[in-house]
Chains A and B, each alone.
Chain A
Amino acid sequence: MMRFLLLFSRQGKLRLQKWFTPIPEREKKKIIRDMTTMVLARQPRSCNFLHWKDLKIIYKRYASLYFCLAIENQENELLALEVIHRYVELLDKYFGNVCELDIIFNFEKAYFILDEFLLGGEIQETSKQIVNRCIESSDMLQEYYCEGETDFPGTWRKYHGGVYEQTCILTCGLKGIEITAGEEYRSRMYCI
């Protein structure tokens, strides 16, 4: 089982933390400090595996972000590297050429994607496409919810076709969906 996943920058600033076991707040802070110190001290071309207490720490650097995953002793380290890589691919697919700023400004999305990929310290879904589809559907569910609907989107709105674009205040160029004013339309939800 995985114990925790941390993302932090080269300066040691935390960008994402996911804990798979209950740990008191003080201890979480200590662990974060230990991890950042240990990982940032590593030489560029060293082994990606470390030992810390009774856990194995797998870390990998992608551009300016360090991904640090702690697994129990009986887990497969090489597979943990693949898990990190898969998560990066999912982020990349979602944000389109993901960079650290995407994760800073849309941290809740990063969490949602993680929650579709890993669950309770184990891998939840092994197919990239399915995870992506689920995220997109959940997003659409969130975006399309309208005031006044008493029953939760049981009536599905169908998509009429049109331009996908959104004027948004985000600076990371996320592609969104435009609601053409005045026109009633429906959208189709992905059903897995």
Chain B
Amino acid sequence: MSEYVVAGCGIIGLYTTFHLLDRGIDPKKITVLAQHFPGDESINYASPYAGGDFSCITDDDPKTLFYDQYTYTNLKKIQKALGGPACGLDRYTSTEYWDIKPSKEKIDSLASYLDEYKVISPAKYPKGVQYGIQFKSWNFNCPYFLLNLKVYLENNGVKFEKTILTHITQAFISSHTKIIFNCTGLGSHSLGGVNDSNVYPTRGQVVVVKAPHITENVMRWGDDYATYIIKRPYSNDQLILGGYMQKDNWTADTFKDETEDIISRTTKLFPKIIDKNPNGDKLEILRVVAGLRPSRHGGVRIEKEVVGHNKFVVHNYGASGYGYQAGFGMAYDAVRLALINDTKF
């Protein structure tokens, strides 16, 4: 009876719910409360607009490296549960370049678990690149994957209720509710009882094009820019081109000059987009969209807070642009915290 409530139905909330089931929690004891569900669109609902794939976007602090590794290695479990790659989770080769060579910790970590990992020889680097690797990634058809994940959880008995929370304690919907998982992402900035002023959006814009001839990912991380090409699985040949990392930019508007800049950068990074395009140099743009990555100064916040007598909130937000690739590891940590027993042996 709603012993566990997950607030927020983005990728973080869904990963958290999946992990609760993984830990053996009875799905009937779980309720997900959210303003937006998969299928909805809103600038306040970041998850559908993500790239998305597993990338080297993340920092090299130990926790984040762990979250990445955990997610990467355990996604196959989710894929299997959802019936295979057709759920919108498939694997393609990724080539990633850095203008500034990443730290040893980051490199060592990636090398230790990425499949089909290899370092690209410097002779092949684009001009200005200091380091490049190739590996087998995970690709998400984000809106579709979210929906399938929700359906899976629902079929297993998890309840989903559409709610707008103005204060986190409103999520204690039943006298039996003991733990709330706060997976509200950007919402934690202004949600009563949380009011995390460290939360801020990092705006991105992407251009979705038709590209049946591209079946891989290419990325380049610059000092103040990110250029990426991400194949969207089971999407009728959609390819995601991006992007931008605009801190503290709250606008949902999209801009023509940004679109042009994205196409310019991505086709320069990966000329095959145009060279092998069945339509010649006419690239069919299906959609242009902006999303607000739920970032946080100090990184993700995963901690347990006492808010009332036998009432706890486990915060799990701030995943910025790596919710899909690190979120399952974050869920592991959040659920671990939630389930720790008070008593110490």
A, B bound: no
* Chain B residues with a Cβ under 8 A of chain A: none
